[in-house]
């Protein structure tokens, strides 16, 4: 599959059902890849997911058949002392779109948006997710810390890597 076989755009409230489906799939299949849990989000109404789309810049990649196959968002804190840093969050690409360049294109779309809004983007990634770490490093992110016992899933602790990409003051 080549990059022309998918399209990218920012999600709108009309995408809420597709967004909920892919978000819950990612949480269910990769619980150690997200700070959120499937149990917490599966009980949320569609309006909750719609608010996430409205409150954050969430971007998606669609396959030629209209399937939402990849997502990632940018969270910018409301607080004056923190809003210079955004967080890339919720990154997930369905297996059918892996290896197509969609993941890198979504990250770049989030970063393009972020450059006009924040001075730096940070993210958290599981240390054993080598594909994601390669993706983020290729985009310019560098690891700045490792948080031990960041997540506790079914009684087992999981570390997290913290990565950052500073790009100066917004335009």
Classify residue 56: in a domain, yes or no. Answer: yes
Classify residue 171: in a domain, yes or no. Answer: no
Residue 5 pLDDT class (50, 70, 90 cuts): confident
Predicted local distance difference test score (pLDDT) of residue 169: 55
With a CB cutoff of 8 Å and minimum separation 6, the contacts of 110 are: 57, 59, 72, 73, 74, 88, 121
Classify residue 61: in a domain, yes or no. Answer: yes
User: How many domains does the structure of the chain reveal?
Assistant: 1
Give all strands of the β-sheet with 156-166 in edge-to-edge order: 6-10, 57-63, 68-75, 85-93, 120-125, 156-166, 142-153
Q: Judge residue 164's burial from the number of C-beta atoms within 10 Å of its C-beta, 0-12 exposed, 13-18 middle, 19 or more buried.
A: middle
Residues of the chain with pLDDT > 70: what percent?
95
Q: Is residue 157 pLDDT above 90, yes or no?
A: yes
**Domain encompassing residue 10:** 3-166
Classify residue 112: in a domain, yes or no. Answer: yes
What is the distance of C-alpha 161 from the center of its chain? 15
The residue-averaged pLDDT of 53-67 equals: 95
pLDDT digits (tens, 9 = 90+) for 92-106: 999 999 999 999 999
CATH code of the domain covering residue 146? 3.40.630.30
Classify residue 14: in a domain, yes or no. Answer: yes
Residues of the chain with pLDDT > 90: what percent?
90
H/E run at residue 42: helix 38-42
The residue-averaged pLDDT of 125-135 equals: 95
CA distances (Å), origin 53, targets 9, 21, 114, 132, 159: 12, 13, 16, 23, 28
Q: Judge residue 92's burial from the number of C-beta atoms within 10 Å of its C-beta, 0-12 exposed, 13-18 middle, 19 or more buried.
A: buried
Q: Is residue 128 pLDDT above 90, yes or no?
A: yes
């Amino acid at each position: 599959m080549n990059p022309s076989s998918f399209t990218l755009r920012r999600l709108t409230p009309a995408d809420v059902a597709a967004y909920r489906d892919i978000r819950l799939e990612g949480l269910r299949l990769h619980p150690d890849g997200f700070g959120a849990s499937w149990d917490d989000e599966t009980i949320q109404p569609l309006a909750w997911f719609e608010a996430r789309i409205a409150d954050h810049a969430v971007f998606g990649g669609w396959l030629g058949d209209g399937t939402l196959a990849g997502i990632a968002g940018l969270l910018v804190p409301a607080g004056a002392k923190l809003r210079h840093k955004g967080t890339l969050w919720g990154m997930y690409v369905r297996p059918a779109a892996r290896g197509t360049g969609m993941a890198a294109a979504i990250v770049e779309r989030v970063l393009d948006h972020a450059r006009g809004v924040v001075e730096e983007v940070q993210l958290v990634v599981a240390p054993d997710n080598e594909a994601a770490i390669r993706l983020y490093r290729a985009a310019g992110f560098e690891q700045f810390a490792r948080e031990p016992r960041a997540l506790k899933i079914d009684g087992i602790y999981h570390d997290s890597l913290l990565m950052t990409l500073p790009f100066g003051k917004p335009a």
